[in-house]
Structure 1
Amino acid sequence: MIISVVSVLTGVLVYLFDPPDERQAIAPLAEQIELLEKVMRVAPTLVDIQQKPAGGEIEPRLTGWLRDTLKSRGMPRDVVVSRKDDKPVLSIPVDRGWIITPIPDLPPQGGVFNLLLIWLAVIALGALAVALLFANRMVKPLVLLEKAIESVGPDALLPELVITGPAEVRVAAKALNSLSRRLKVAMEGRMRLVAAAGHDLRTPITRMRLRAEFVEDDEDRAMWLKDIDELDRIADSAILLVREESGKSSPESLRLDNLISELVDELRTLSYDVTLVRSDEAVVRANRTGLSRAFRNLLINAATHGNRARVSVRSELSEAVVVIEDDGPGIPPDMIGQVFEPFFRADRARTKHFEGAGLGLTIANEIVQRAQGTIKIENGPWRGLVQTVKLPAEPR
């Protein structure tokens, strides 16, 4: 915009003032020569006559133009334009020798058009420098925000930022630090609330279990105990979820293929239909207990809701990939994005047929994210679900 405005204004000024080009500037020199010759005829003592033309490098282009102009005016002269000490000098031949006179510099080759281009280039470079300076100041807070978001840890909290730099960056850093503190307080309050609720449920659940034991009707007693067991599992899962979100257990290097193989053998002894179809050697860094719990939840989910589970472990460049497939009915496409929400059920009518608190996938997702990995759940090409877990692999 700045360059466009300057270009238009410069063009208008050039049009109004109409500066001469090189050839147009020759005409005043021809008039000057004619005037000097008249002065020499009227008052020869006023004109300094030299025996030879001025030294220096001859300007053939200007000399030729000036001679042509004089010839067209009816007074041909073999004048010479030379440059001495970087200054133009005009030598005019007369009867007794040469008249030497300095002349002003003519417009540069190309005339005003080249000057205009140079002027616009200077304006463009100046405007670019100013624009980059202000753009850099405006972008710095955004860069700070981007780096802060990229450094968000598995606990979804922003790191404490150092308050240094320009005023804009300091203001942005203070705002992000304040936001981080408020988020931390809110998350800690939520975890305390869930943990307290799960813990406080233990006492009434225990009392309900004792009372249920005295119900005389066997069928009623079994139903009461089943509901109480489900309440107990919900309380345990809620407390476990809070522990995973706030846990600070140190990671360790472990063989993921061995861990999955052990889980498959364990679940098969518990009558789950789980099959290991591929097992590549893969080493990851994570907490063994937590990662084992996450994959146990995923495998049980596939074997329970999907009838059977097929699991494979693949090593791909810098990632270890675990794929769990089942033969179940899958999840409606409009609900697939809710699978990691607490207490999610794809089919509420079928909930009573399966045990569980509905927090297995939520806990598994929390554990995998804490290990810097991801879980993707999608419907298979024909039927069932495909659960894909990717974890950073350690170099061998």
Structure 2
Amino acid sequence: MLRRFFSTTLGQMSAIIACSSVATFVLFAGILSYIGSPPTPPWPWPEAYRIATVANVLRKMRVADRPAAMAAAQTQNMSLTFADFPRPCEGHSLDTREMENILRANIENADTLMVLGCDAESSVSKFQVLVPLDGRVLEIRADRVSRMPLRFTFPFLTALAFLCIGVVAMSTWAVWRVIRPLRRLSEKADAFTHDVAVVEPLALQGPLEVRRAAQAFNRMQERIAGFVQSRTRMLAAISHDLRTPLTRMRLHVETGREDTMRPRLLRDITLMQTMVDSALSFLSSGLDNETGEWLDVGALLSTLCDEYEETGARIRYDGRADIRVYCRPNAMQRACANLIENALAYGDNVVVDAVVENDEVLITVSDDGPGIPAQRLEEVTEPFVRLDPARAQRPGSVGLGLSIVAEIVRAHGGRLTLENRRPAGLCARIRLPLDAPRSA
């Protein structure tokens, strides 16, 4: 928890300020403890030390010698007199009680000692100390002189200068550390507007928020570059493949007879329409305007197999009859149909299966065709990738069938895998999570 906090901008700024403050305090304390410039003690120690010393000395002296000692001890801020019935002041405060406790602890036989404040505005600016001494009362009136105004000495100025320089330096470093990755992100984004090709990903540096922004930018850059690349490849593939039917149509019009030209033109137009429809299907993947709902995948696959079997295909469904998945029905039907058509195009016998395995729905479409070279199993799921035999056997194919299946499965939170069978054939597997409502 603490590690995560200190990886954020707030945590790092807090740590920097705390460390600089501790360092400043340590140096400040070291400078003020310098022997050549001791600090002034706080209240009430200066006054209490003087009064306790005078009272203890007078207590031990002879009565005849006390007047001379009292005269020598008096200063501008403290007067001493003996009185039989002194007139006590009326002020009391926490400071006078603190002084009273200290004097009682440091003056012999002074349990009845009293400290009173004599200033109407502040009870401790001028205070009175009454000390019982040999049947009389020693009255001491003094001014509070401790806690003098701060002196601008060299140690103080040095500590203050270090504080300012330290805070400025640490703050500058902190701001620079945060701004540097943001500047790189800005430069990378500006460069990406001029060239959408995927370049080196932005390094994940700085606080947690900046690293998240850089990671999001890298993902966005990769997606946009992939989007542009796939669309460019699509246009190139369609442009290339449309040349053949367009050339044939031109030749038919120029050299063909009218009675044979019509069916050939219709065949080429159908071929071109198939290519265009495949490209448009890949662009939408059938997901844009369709809402999700619960679908019996077993019933769907069984129905598809029956429909293809009625056309003469050798296909069967061996899976369960009741497997419910939350998905987009039309898109899922299209993905399964593409896999079945692909299997029927290259194999004589096709087996479709569906089971629930490890909290996943596993759909399998197997054929006995030639399979796919092992080094190209992952490549064929990319858009516009076609094997040479496929182009010859399936006119109108632009290499988007498996790409569309992979896109639909990925949008449902699943994955598509291809695997060669032994001794021959291909096995295509779709894995969908049972918690598909969140991923769909």
Give the structure-1-normalised TM-score: 0.49
Which of the two has higher C-alpha Rg? 2
Q: TM-score, normalised by structure 2?
A: 0.45
